[in-house]
Amino acid sequence: MTEQNQGKLNQLENTLPEGLLVDADWMERKGYSTSLRSQYVSAGWLVQPARGTYKRPLGDLTWQKVVISLQTLLEQPLFVGGSTALELQGFGHYLKAEGAPATIHLYGDRPPPGWLAKLPLKETFKFHRSDTLFKSDPVTKGLSNLAWNVRTNTGTATDGLHGGDFRQLWEWGDWPLTLSSPERALLELLNELPGHESFHQVDKLVEGLRTLSPRKLQKLLADCRSIKVKRLFFWFAERHRHTWLKQLDRTAVDLGKGKRELVKGGAGIAVLARWAVAPHLKTGELRAVRLTRRGLERRWRAAVLRQSPLPLHLREFAGLLAAGPSVLAVPSVPMRRTHRRRQRRI
């Protein structure tokens, strides 16, 4: 080996910490050509966990070290969120099914590199776009950090750190693992209901979230795009009567309008007039379920402002409601004026 190559190898030992991972682009930027990388791999000074990735041979590869590598050395705008972030911060014992392979939830504005799915890890990664659920950049709202020791593979809580702001101070000590705060992670978790998380497990988890920050929650709820998530949040919070709920200003949170949208969002069931949901039943978006064998009857009433005589358009609309979905669905059927509304079965 030439003296120059030996110097490059010594430099690599100082810039690539044990256990962390880099890709071919990083090596190129640091001045390591394809032939030099091949030489290091052949000599056993580097190993390739997946094609196009490199690490020093010492230290086991774990998903935490992979994420730290992405956030720091490779400067990828990714952070750990949802159920994974809650588990790391001690809240997720109800979320992990015994013996089930772990799914690591990553959030960011663009997907991680393709080689991530090819690494020899027992865990799998699932990517979520952070701007789907929240309006603001995640760096400004709801991120936290763990100081992760890459040698012992353990983390401790810390403040004032951001994955993209690392410096060489971290070289041989703890590295920052950037993740969602418990408040943000809860909303990310609720967004996975009902398709990817269990209502029962989430209910048990929310029961134990007694120390959330109402200040952080208020900001995150105002920034959240999902009506379903915000309604579920208040439902679970009221169910468990958490003290921090009293400090939230619900009037400052947009909870949307209409039961139908909540049901379409997968957040529960609602009792609705058949005419109102008839088009959605036809397309299969919603499904009607009969309560009891014969169904339940409910007397519907229309409320209007006190005025005499009642305007024609209101009388016609009341007639449409009384006539039911058959008239609404077929415009050619003449409208009938009905002063007394019928009982309808739902």
Higher pLDDT, 12 or 1: 12
Least confident of 13-27, 278-292, 324-338: 324-338
Given this model, what pLDDT does residue 46 score? Answer: 93
Please report the sign of the dihedral spanned by the C-alpha atoms of residue 57, residue 62, residue 65, residue 69.
positive
pLDDT of 287 higher than 60 = yes
What are the structure tokens assigned to 139, written together?
């760096």
Given this model, what pLDDT does residue 330 score? Answer: 40
Distance CA 210, CA 189 (A): 17
Q: pLDDT of 228-276, one tens digit each?
A: 999 999 989 998 999 999 999 988 999 876 655 555 555 566 666 665 6
Given this model, what pLDDT does residue 146 score? Answer: 53
Peptide bond into 111 cis (omega under 30): no
Counting every residue written for the chain, the total comes to: 346
Q: How many CB atoms lie within 10 A of CB 11?
A: 13
Give the pTM. Answer: 0.67
pLDDT of 111 higher than 90 = yes
Confidence of residue 169 (pLDDT cuts 50, 70, 90): very low
Rounded to 5 degrees, what are φ and ψ at 107? Answer: -120, 150
pLDDT of 164 higher than 70 = no
SS3 state at 312: helix
pLDDT of 319 higher than 90 = no
Given this model, what pLDDT does residue 41 score? Answer: 94
Confidence of residue 138 (pLDDT cuts 50, 70, 90): low
Q: Which of 107, 84, 105, 106 is nearest to 96 (CA)?
A: 84
Q: pLDDT of 191-211, one tens digit each?
A: 988 777 778 888 888 998 999
Least confident of 54-58, 113-117, 146-150, 235-239: 146-150
Inter-residue contact 146 to 88 (CB < 8 Å): yes
Given this model, what pLDDT does residue 23 score? Answer: 96
